[in-house]
Amino acid sequence: MQSIAIVGGGVAGLGAAYSLRDRAAHVTLFERDDDIGGRAATRHRDGCAYDYGANYLKDGDSRVTELVKGPLSDGLVEVDGPVWTFDAAGEVSPGRDADEHKWTYEDGIATLAVRLCDAADPAVRTEATVESLERTNDGWVVWTSDGSADGERAGRVRNGAFDAVVLTPTAPNTADVLAAAEWDHPVCERIREAVAAVPYRTIISVALHYPFSVDVPHYALVNTDREHEVGWLSREECKPGHVPGGESLLVVQMAPDWSASRYGDEGDAIAADAAEHASELLDDDRLAEPDWHDIGEWRYALPDDGVAEGAVERARNHDLYLAGDWVAGDGRLHAALVSGIETGELLGQGG
């Protein structure tokens, strides 16, 4: 039986664990936060559920469709309404994806991670920050900063040994792990350089709640020219079970440049700016004054490209696997999930 470590409890890591569930593998998943899911993230307040990271799951791959319509279907709902576009001047134009499915869950997109984890049933260690890897004659050792495993050294905790390791955090975080790796082989630095070169967007996500309904013909607006201070605006009330009747909850995701310049700023000021932009885009003065707001910050939200060709194969030759949307080269939830599933299938077939 293979012993496999999966670093990162986002949907890529969980997809790999799910794919390995029947493949004679013992899987341990390490997640630095106390929740799993990564950007498949949901918060709850005053009877509302809102997806403030990934907004929904697309049917961009048949394996995703089979999963969510089959074993992961409990609580699945479809987003009601099309996605329209707007430009730098805030000019709104009718939609672009009326025929594609957009899925979440009644209790939020984070349910996807819970469903995957329950079905995969790996050994999960949350609040376990992976600091480095160590290559040994017997495989891999994973060093964490928590106190949940055997053998402490220099303030770290030894977890292992594992036959293979799957790295699924964002590319910058994966590069940090590789930079600290105790692996005396020139390929390590080549892989790290390729991973570190993946460009990322920073996104600040703002939830704005209103005690009245917003009447517009679309679920969401997306900026297509990347010249507006808002990148995305959507209505959570278009997701069954998310918002009580007669209320509205907007999720405004600010553009990358704006988000990077305001990252870490005071939340009320960020929310006020987001609300003003929402008011202008939807042509509704009432939206400038939400009755409550919430802020989510994503330093490494979405990759703008994939890892250089060859890095994944070079790592795989040493029982080190890379998975995530930055491996797929597409910053979409379904792409991260498929990357994890494919990696698990490969491991299950012996690499």
Q: How far apart are alpha carbons 230 and 257 in whole angstroms?
A: 10
Can you give the pTM of this predicted structure? Answer: 0.94
**CA separation for the pair 209, 203 (Å, rounded):** 19
The mean pLDDT of 165-182, rounded to a whole number, is: 97
pLDDT for 284 beyond 80 = yes
Q: Is the dihedral of CA 305, 183, 165, 318 positive or negative?
A: positive
The reply to whether 269 and 313 lie within a common domain is no
pLDDT bracket for residue 210 (50, 70, 90): very high
d(CA 144, CA 324): 21
Q: For residue 192, give Cα distances in angstroms to 134, 170, 308.
A: 15, 13, 11
CATH code: domain of residue 315: 3.50.50.60
182 and 323 within one domain: yes
Stretch 125-141: mean pLDDT: 92
Same structural domain, 130 and 180? yes
Confidence of residue 100 (pLDDT cuts 50, 70, 90): confident
On whether both 97 and 171 belong to a single domain, the answer is no
Q: Strand, helix or coil at 141? A: strand
Q: Is residue 28 part of a domain?
A: yes
64 and 338 Cβ atoms separated by less than 8 Å: yes
Task: Give 221's strand partners.
Answer: 84, 233
- Over pLDDT 90: what percentage of the chain? 85
DSSP state of 21: T
Does the pLDDT value for residue 24 go beyond 90? no
Question: What average pLDDT score do residues 331-340 get?
Answer: 96
Q: What is the mean pLDDT of the chain?
A: 93
Q: Based on the fold, state whether residues 311 and 297 are members of the same structural domain.
A: no
Q: Are residues 18 and 161 in the same domain?
A: yes
Say yes or no to pLDDT of 350 above 90. Answer: no
Residues 159, 283, single domain; the answer is no
Query: Is residue 99 pLDDT above 70, yes or no?
Result: no
- d(C-alpha 187, C-alpha 196), whole Å: 14
SS3 content of the chain, % helix, strand, coil (to 5): 30, 30, 40
Query: Residues with Cβ < 8 Å from 15, sequence gap 6 or more?
Result: 116, 323, 336, 337, 338, 339, 340, 341, 343, 344
Residues 130 and 160 placed together within one structural domain of the fold = yes
Query: For residue 161, what pLDDT is reported?
Result: 86
pLDDT surpasses 80 at 113: yes
7 and 134 inside one domain: yes
- H or E stretch covering 327: helix 325-328
Q: What is the pLDDT of residue 138?
A: 87
Give mean pLDDT, residues 260-283: 97
Residue 198 — very low, low, confident or very high, per pLDDT cuts 50/70/90? very high
Paired strand residues for 157: 144, 152
Residues 6+ positions from 266 with CB-CB distance below 8 Å: none
120, 14: one domain: yes
Exposure of 349 by Cβ count < 10 A (0-12 exposed, 13-18 middle, 19+ buried)? Answer: exposed
Q: What is the mean pLDDT of residues 259-285?
A: 97
Q: How far is CA 192 from the centre of its chain?
A: 21
Is the residue at 127 inside a domain?
Answer: yes
- pLDDT band for 127, please (50, 70, 90 cuts): confident
Residue 151 predicted with pLDDT over 60: no
The tokens describing 133, both together, are: 């890897």
Counting residues of the chain whose pLDDT is more than 70, the rounded percentage is 95
How far apart, in whole angstroms, are the C-alpha atoms of residue 50 and residue 56? 11
pLDDT at site 61: 86
Q: State yes or no: pLDDT of 188 exceeds 70.
A: yes
SS3 sequence of 82-132:
CEEEECCCCCEECCCCCCCCEEEECCCCHHHHHHHHHHHCCEEEECCCEEE
Q: What amino acid is encoded at 117 in this protein?
A: C
Model confidence at 146, pLDDT cuts 50, 70, 90, reads low
pLDDT (mean) for 53-62: 92
Helix axes 333-348, 62-69, angle to 10 degrees: 90
Query: Containing domain of residue 270, as a range?
Result: 78-103+200-303
| 57 within a domain of the structure (yes/no) | no
Q: Which pLDDT score, from 0 to 100, does residue 75 have?
A: 96
Helix (H, G, I), strand (E, B) or coil at 48: strand
Residue 43 — pLDDT band, cuts 50, 70, 90?
A: very high
What is the domain count for the chain?
2
pLDDT (0 to 100) of residue 309: 84
Both 223 and 254 in one domain: the answer is: yes
64-98 pLDDT, tens digit each: 999 999 999 999 999 999 999 999 999 999 976 65
